[in-house]
Amino acid sequence: MPLDLSGWENKMNKFVEQDAKTITEQFDMAVFDNKTVLITGATGLIGSLCVKSLLASKYNVNVLALVRNKEKALKMFGVNNNLTLLVQDIQDEINTTQKADYIIHSASTTASKDFVEKPVETIMTSLNGTKNILEFAKNKNCLGFVYLSSLEVYGITDKEEICENDYGYINFLEPRASYSEGKRLCENLCISYGSEYAIPVKIARLTQTFGAGVTKEDNRVFAQFAKSVIEKRNIILHTKGNTKRSYCYTTDAVCAIFTILTKGENNNAYNVANKNTYISIYDMAKSLENENTKVIFEIDNKNRGYNPEIKINLNTKKLETLGWSAKTPLNEMFKKLICSMEEDNA
């Protein structure tokens, strides 16, 4: 069925701010009142929405946003008395004496092309960045620490529905494994610091997550599909599109992160996904077809950094026991993504 964008024409403005407000309505932000929250990767898609939602709440929440680009951060967040920018590389020692009650570690390499072309940098950014933020947390007596991991830690499995204790095969002799093996190593590093130094570490294993705020420069599959619809051109698949996974909208993901951070059990991992979005890449592309956009195949042997073909639907029952549930269906995820991109390009 073609994607229906009717009714959204007059709503193509400030979608990220609207999403931040939605989070404050869906999650009880009172837990952060008079607290300080440190967020790494704060100008990234998920990190920035964490920052915006905390600042949008009616409570007195202080945010420490670790960023590399001050100008980008100021453009994104503006000036706020409750916001302090920590301008530095995550691979350097954390440069602040301020205390953080809660820590969200979202800084990571995310471009699939870099996993193949810059595997060393991919690994070292994950490892050094995670070590630095854990060292910072070690003597701060923080109330909660959440590391944002990925469904890629599961590798290739013989099961489609994956719980937190199901693990598959990763060929670590391939450079592309730099991302998934890096995430696995950082998860263990987090658990090790949690065990040895009593840091209240929790892990959020996110499926592919998207929504308002994805930029036109993003080259992930959902962004490519959205740009094809906006530009009224065909969606070109370089594979058969058999990979099948669940997705998650950014507001649902941030609510999940806040839930894990404040309610999750220490030294535990939680899957974050909308199980009702389970779909193949081909079927997802077909759902976006219209009179201007058709799905065509141009299969080649180029190494584009794609993950090996997988079928993986994350089981979220463990997270749901904490009171969380995904609320945004896939068609609405794409509506908001497309309208947000159009607003940015206007």
Q: What is the pLDDT of residues 140-183, one digit of tens each?
A: 899 999 999 999 999 988 888 999 999 999 999 999 999 999 99
Tell me the pLDDT band of 217, cut-offs 50, 70 and 90. Answer: confident
Cβ(319)–Cβ(262) below 8 Å: no
pLDDT of residue 214: 92
Provide the pairing of β-strand 102-105 with 208-210.
unpaired
Question: What's the pLDDT band for 212 if we cut at 50, 70, 90?
Answer: very high
- Token pair listed for 284: 């997802």
Q: What's 29's DSSP letter?
A: G
- Whether the CB-CB separation of 147 and 127 falls below 8 Å is answered with no
Three-state SS for 210? Answer: strand
Whole-angstrom distance, CA of residue 279 vs CA of residue 237:
15
Q: What is the pLDDT of residue 131?
A: 97
| pLDDT over threshold 60, residue 338 | yes
Residues in the chain: 346
Local confidence band at 329 (pLDDT 50, 70, 90 cut-offs): very high
Domains of the chain: 9-214+247-276+311-327 (3.40.50.720)
Q: What is the mean pLDDT of residues 189-214?
A: 97
- Region 3-29: mean pLDDT is 75
